Structure 1
Amino acid sequence: MIDTIDENFNRHARQVPERTPGMIVNELPGLTYVDSGLSCDTFNILHISNGSALSAATLEAAVTYYRSRGLDYCIWIGREQLTAEVGGFLQQAGVSRQNEEVGMILDLGDYAIRRHPDHRNVRIADQPDRIADYARVLAHNWTPPDQNVVRFYARTAPVYLASDSDIRLLVYYQEGKPVATLELFPSDAETVGIYGFATLQDFRGRGIGSTLFTFALNYARSAGYRRVILQASEDGLGIYKKYGFKAVTTYYEYA
């Protein structure tokens, strides 16, 4: 299950940039790193996927890539890959731990479909204006809103809208106003990950997030996926456990 989560995370970081002109994905032994063309650590992700294959020189080369271009970036690594040796490589590269999240998984066979009348307020972003709505809501995760998020989705919209795309960007509308978002990102026929889950500050505490979340789980089960994965902050652990998610690993962010 840990490999399943790691593979979904890696594909999520690189798949859309790989298909977007002007964005670059580099793969070196033990890691993948993404240059979105924006100085934004939300999308410029260096993912250490195989600590045993990693060398200090390889990590240094990837970090130097970002620094030489003046790009913000972040490094993500799962607990199982963070050996003492890899920890030493990170220290040599001059980065430090900034954050950690819990990798969780839900067996959809244990999830019962939940109906809610407000599910009708959720729309799949299947046209440019809805992708723009998704981006504007997500940008408000930062203060002030991060316009690099808006730029990223403006550039990548053709990838999400392509006829062969199975990524689903969901937007919750309250009286016509986009107020919450969630992304369903599949890495194989059985596994889908949840990303970009956000609600505007003024609309929190109204049950909008949980309504959007159950819509997403219902959609995933109806679409035939067998498992859902996500990365949770400490604050979200209890909520996700109520839906049946189980903690299986920890991810660490360095910058």
Structure 2
Amino acid sequence: MEQDEKHIIGNLFEHWAYVGERAGLLTTAPSYKAVMPDGSDWPRRVFDVAGGEALKDIAHQIKKEQLPDAVTFTASVAEAYAPQLAAAGFQPKMTLQGMIIYLRENPPGNYPGNISFRIADKEADAKAFANIAAGSFNYRVDGAVVAHLLGQENKIKVFTGTVGGVAACSGLIYYDDNGNAGLHFIGTLPEFRGKGLAAAMTTRLLQECTQDGKRYCVLHASKAGLPIYTRLGFEPVKEVITYALVA
């Protein structure tokens, strides 16, 4: 696995583990980790799978509803585990593009002055973030899980952005143990799309990462987000693939 790919998947997996641990939802087994919150689709994942031979047992536990039916790999690992994934009954469910930017070589620019950003520091902020994220990505996000992340700015920073006094976009930074930054949950409510808010939020987060002395910043882009992040200087590395059992 290339170093940039390690940066990308390492930040994502550590981020999920951190969220799960803070919320009291993390399961750590010898061959995988999992987070399975009630009433929330985030971060509902099995991840950090150590060895393709574990997939048969993971599939068994998913069928018994003891683990979430969403197992995530970076593309290199998914390729290596392809025979075991197929044998256990998994197929790709969602693919995102892992991307990286070197901040010293690509300092962030500015964002429009009509957007106001704040770091969440109270329960109402966590709820607002969860509502924006849920509306942006069309899945359940529990504000109570987000609230467990507040006040930990050395590791995680939860942002909301407002336009005309209305909370319209979300974004989150996670600083991993290797000193890298990861951007997560960059979303815009449907009624505010097409106004450049995703690019503005990303720029604000990159400014924060730069101020905090980070060199590498990673994220995982959908097809819709890929042009935005490319324009801002992110480079594609490897895909991040989530698998589910064949129905």
Q: Same fold (TM over 0.5)?
A: yes
Letter in 1 for 2:194: G
Partner of 1:213: 202
The equivalences for 1:170-185 within 5 A come to: 170-185=159-174
Partner of 1:141: 136
Cα gap change, 1:26 to 1:122, in 2 (>3 Å): same
Which moved further from structure 2: 169-178 or 159-168?
A: 159-168
Letter in 1 for 2:87: Q
Partner of 1:7: 10
Cα gap change, 1:247 to 1:71, in 2 (>3 Å): same
The separation in 2 between residues aligned to 1:39 and 1:16, in whole angstroms, is 13
Q: Does 1:43 align with 2:46?
A: no
Aligned residues: 241
Q: Deviations over 1:50-78 (max 9, x none)?
A: 4xx331xx222223323313765311111
Partner of 1:168: 157
- Displacement of 1:240 in angstroms is 1.4
Cα gap change, 1:178 to 1:223, in 2 (>3 Å): same
Letter in 2 for 1:87: A
Q: Deviations over 1:102-125 (max 9, x none)?
A: 111000012234233527601111
Cα gap change, 1:156 to 1:214, in 2 (>3 Å): closer
Cα gap change, 1:119 to 1:75, in 2 (>3 Å): farther
Q: Deviations over 1:206-230 (max 9, x none)?
A: 1222211111111110111111101
Match of 1:60 among 53, 56, 59: 56
Q: Deviations over 1:164-201 (max 9, x none)?
A: 75201110012221110011111136311011011011
The separation in 2 between residues aligned to 1:233 and 1:162, in whole angstroms, is 29
What are structure 1's unaligned runs of at least 5 residues? none
Cα gap change, 1:110 to 1:87, in 2 (>3 Å): same
Q: Deviations over 1:84-105 (max 9, x none)?
A: 5x21221222221122111110
Q: What CA RMSD, in Å, does the superposition of the two structures yield over aligned residues?
A: 2.2
Whether the aligned pair in 2 keeps the contact of 1:183 and 1:196 (CA below 8 Å) is yes
Match of 1:88 among 75, 83, 86: 83
Which moved further from structure 2: 112-121 or 58-67?
A: 112-121
What are structure 2's unaligned runs of at least 5 residues? none
Cα gap change, 1:212 to 1:164, in 2 (>3 Å): closer
The separation in 2 between residues aligned to 1:110 and 1:173, in whole angstroms, is 30
Give the structure with the higher percent helix.
1
Match of 2:101 among 106, 130, 148: 106
Letter in 2 for 1:98: K
Calculate the TM-score normalised by the size of structure 2: 0.88
